[in-house]
Structure 1
Amino acid sequence: MPPDPDSGEQDGLGLLCVNCGWGVARLFVQYSPGNIRLMKCDNCKAVADPYIECEFMIIFIDLILHKTRAYRHLLYNMLHAKTSDIKGILLKSSLMFLILDAFRVSLVMKGDNSWDLLTSNMAFTRTCIKVLLDVLFGNFIFISVLWLAVRLLLKLKYDESRYKEIMLAILVSSYFKIFLLAMMIWEFPSSVVFIVDIFVLSSNTVAFSVITQLRTSTCIALFFTAHAAKFLASRWLQTVL
């Protein structure tokens, strides 16, 4: 359902002006294939979403630079066209998130020389189980902290669509984990894993701020707490297993 252009900044996945966050009815008018006119925002009078005419690489660079405009384009205007398939997007994003997180845990364990102790199939199986439990338990703690904070800060009652939108924002803003795959090709110190974690935290913060309209300082504190809880939970699990 298209947003009300007079309703101001939206709470859900609706069309927005990437500059001021004001709701817009449409982003462009298409006269013929390849011939479009970008619409202007009624609030700030600027082009509502200039990213429509940009290559994906330009958008990706602006996401890396943590530009709020790029995150508004991604979370509202780009995903808006696929809201009917948000469950499919969530499923694929969650699967990729868990796979990359499992790879991250395996890199941390490699740095701790955990893989060097594998002398049998039994030991290999046990280590794989540890990685799986670490990923599942750590992310359970991470999501639990976020959900609790969302309910307290936004005073949300159970709203499945709203929670899906917030969850999608968290998953897609964790794209920095992809850079860990470079460690399969080139040799990097294990500290790179924690540098990537810092970028994931900052990206999560920007995306969460955009999707909830909370203050940046509040989002930083929230995600620092959630990531710290996940780290401590993972460390505790490693000592127990």
Structure 2
Amino acid sequence: MDKNEFRCIECNEKAAELHRDYRNGILKITICDSCQKPVDKYIEYDPVIILIDAILCKTQAIRHILFNTSLNIHWKLCVFCLLCEAYLRWSLLHGSEPSSDPADFIRYTREWDFYGKFGLAALELCAFFCGVLLFLWAVVGCLQGGTLQLSLLLRALLLSCYGKVLLIPAVIWEHDFSPLCLGLIKLFVLVSNSQAIRVILNSSRRLSLMAVCLGLLSETCVAQACKKLPWSIQDMITFE
């Protein structure tokens, strides 16, 4: 990564380097000039510890991942999360149709319903991102006169959707409280999105929550429109 991309995980100030190499295997973590704390303590941590702190939505861990690493899997993670969500919707679609014929399962796998659910999930995710980015562009870019790094913000939002991977265990371990589990997973993803926005913009919690709520409203409107339009987008996509 370029030197000007490093950030202190404590105060969010820019840093020229994360550590200094004195040769012979001697490394010393750089101290931030602003807060007098280590710029990034996580460079010495095990990846498992970093992942746990990121799941706990710790600001320092998220700053480490977004600013001080070259992690570039956000698009792959996005596609995988969409596949998880599409599989959940597809399983709920055919889960209420029990059959003892093994050929039925093969027939279902060849149907276009799964791809239709994937398209709907992608459309709703795009609506969510558009609502968040437009709100932040209007508030930060226009009203506050600041600069908004859309590419970095989009990368943060994509990475913060990792909680959707939990949809697969929710389908595998079916039980009577699955709606509650799905609701908790959705809440966890929204909290992660909000924390990612706070880290990128170094903003207040109120601004990030407002952005996430507007994105959720946009996503909900698109989902309802797909169901209620006269020509039924959902029926055309899923061939039901």
Q: TM-score by structure 2 length?
A: 0.78
Q: Work out whether residues 16 and 24 of structure 1, in 8 Å CA contact, stay in contact via their aligned partners in 2.
A: yes
Tell me which of 61, 75, 99 is aligned to 1:91. 75
Cα drift, residue 231 of structure 1: 3.0
Question: Kindly, what percent of the aligned residue pairs are identical?
Answer: 23
Aligned mates of 2:48, 2:54 — CA distance in 1: 10
Cα drift, residue 115 of structure 1: 4.0
Aligned mates of 1:67, 1:122 — CA distance in 2: 42
Q: Work out whether residues 39 and 47 of structure 1, in 8 Å CA contact, stay in contact via their aligned partners in 2.
A: yes
- 1:64-110 deviations in Å (ceiling 9; x for gaps): 2211111111110123xx6xxx5xx4432332232233234335xx1
Cα drift, residue 165 of structure 1: 1.0
Aligned to 2:199: 210
Task: Say if 2:3 is the partner of 1:2.
Answer: yes
Aligned mates of 1:237, 1:129 — CA distance in 2: 15
Aligned to 1:200: 189
Cα drift, residue 141 of structure 1: 1.4
Q: Work out whether residues 28 and 38 of structure 1, in 8 Å CA contact, stay in contact via their aligned partners in 2.
A: yes
The aligned amino acid for 1:223 is: V
Aligned to 1:141: 127
**Equivalent residue of 1:78, what SS?**
coil
Whichever of the two has the greater Rg, that structure is 2
- 1:36-89 deviations in Å (ceiling 9; x for gaps): 11110001111111111111111111112211111111110123xx6xxx5xx4
**Equivalent residue of 2:20, what SS?**
strand
Matching of residues 77-226 of structure 1 within 5 Å: 77-79=68-70, 89-106=73-90, 110=92, 115-117=95-97, 121=107, 125-155=111-141, 162-188=149-175, 189-226=178-215
- 1:185-220 deviations in Å (ceiling 9; x for gaps): 422423211210100000110111111222211111
| Runs of 5+ unmatched residues, structure 1 | 4-13
Aligned mates of 2:132, 2:221 — CA distance in 1: 15
Q: Work out whether residues 30 and 36 of structure 1, in 8 Å CA contact, stay in contact via their aligned partners in 2.
A: yes
Aligned to 2:13: 22
Aligned mates of 1:177, 1:47 — CA distance in 2: 33
| Runs of 5+ unmatched residues, structure 2 | 143-147, 236-240
Matching of residues 62-81 of structure 1 within 5 Å: 62-79=53-70
Number of aligned residues: 216
Aligned to 1:59: 50
Aligned mates of 2:30, 2:164 — CA distance in 1: 35
* Alpha carbons of structure 1 residues 227 and 45: separation in structure 2 relative to 1, 3 Å: same
The aligned amino acid for 1:35 is: I
Q: Work out whether residues 169 and 208 of structure 1, in 8 Å CA contact, stay in contact via their aligned partners in 2.
A: yes
Aligned mates of 2:168, 2:109 — CA distance in 1: 25
* Alpha carbons of structure 1 residues 101 and 191: separation in structure 2 relative to 1, 3 Å: same
Q: Work out whether residues 15 and 24 of structure 1, in 8 Å CA contact, stay in contact via their aligned partners in 2.
A: yes
Q: TM-score by structure 1 length?
A: 0.78
Q: Work out whether residues 105 and 135 of structure 1, in 8 Å CA contact, stay in contact via their aligned partners in 2.
A: no
Deviating above 6 A after TM superposition, structure 1's stretches of 4 or more consecutive aligned residues are none
Aligned to 2:238: none
